[in-house]
A and B are shown apart, each in its own frame.
Chain A
């Protein structure tokens, strides 16, 4: 079975720009979550999608938005990028039931 894949692996953007990060869930997983991991910190929950609907959101502003598609792949969009948005963005998928998430390798976003 395939794991969780994220693209791109690295990205450099300028402050004020918009970015889209992509994630392909593990086969059979219908729940996807996105996390932001700043350097030296633990991951912070951004939001979660279940069957294309957002069903949980962390303490992030509305300029962080997402989508989940019928094939359960997902996108994270960030508008009006700020320097503090520089971080590793992790996507995680699950089959539900709180059995643990499978994480991708992440996208390293640098905002300059």
Chain B
């Protein structure tokens, strides 16, 4: 069975500091990996995804994540965060056969001024 573990439930950080949100997964089959962001009282927005190819993927707003197959990780990083990055972040894996998403428990990123 596939599963996703987000190692930190809350990550407080000051504005303009770097941040890393950790995600590990377990799967016996090929997977696709995703990070979604959820702002208060909203649905999920796709931040970035790894399907194949380069193991480093980037989003348009400065986030990046690196797929590490040997460590079964897909950590999300940003070199300098903004107040507006405060949100809930979900890591997810997709079953390569059915496409269903399996989510982690989420990490709350709290950016302080």
CB-CB under 8 A from A33, the residues of chain B are 99-101
Give chain B nearest CB distance to A16 CB in angstroms: 28
Inter-chain CA distance A94–B44, complex, in Å, is: 14
Closest A-B pairs by Cβ, 9 of them: A42-B103, A103-B44, A103-B43, A105-B43, A56-B98, A45-B100, A98-B99, A106-B43, A98-B32
| B100 contacts A48, C-beta separation under 8 Å | yes
Among A42, A43, A98, A104, contact of B96 (Cβ-Cβ < 8 Å): A98
Q: Mark B15-51, 1 if CB is under 8 A from A, else 0.
A: 0000000000000000010101000001111100101
CB-CB under 8 A from A58, the residues of chain B are 100
Closest to B99 in A: A98
Judged by DSSP, the binding face of B is: strand
CB-CB under 8 A from A106, the residues of chain B are 42-43
CB-CB under 8 A from B102, the residues of chain A are 45
Among A6, A41, A43, A99, contact of B44 (Cβ-Cβ < 8 Å): A43
Among A42, A96, A105, contact of B105 (Cβ-Cβ < 8 Å): A42
> Given known contacts A31-B99, A45-B101, A98-B32, is B51 in contact with A90 (CB within 8 Å)?
no
Give chain B nearest CB distance to A13 CB in angstroms: 20
| A90 contacts B43, C-beta separation under 8 Å | yes
Interface positions, chain B 38-78, Cβ under 8 Å from A, are 42-46, 49, 51
Q: How many residues on the B side are at the interface (Cβ–Cβ under 8 A)?
A: 24
Interface positions, chain B 82-111, Cβ under 8 Å from A, are 90, 92, 94, 96, 98-106
| B101 contacts A43, C-beta separation under 8 Å | yes
CB-CB under 8 A from B46, the residues of chain A are 100-103
> Given known contacts A98-B32, A99-B51, is B99 in contact with A48 (CB within 8 Å)?
yes
Tell me which of A48, A58, A103, A105 has the highest count of chain B C-beta atoms within 10 A of its own C-beta: A103
A20 in the interface, Cβ–Cβ < 8 Å? no
Inter-chain CA distance A35–B102, complex, in Å, is: 10
| A101 contacts B101, C-beta separation under 8 Å | yes
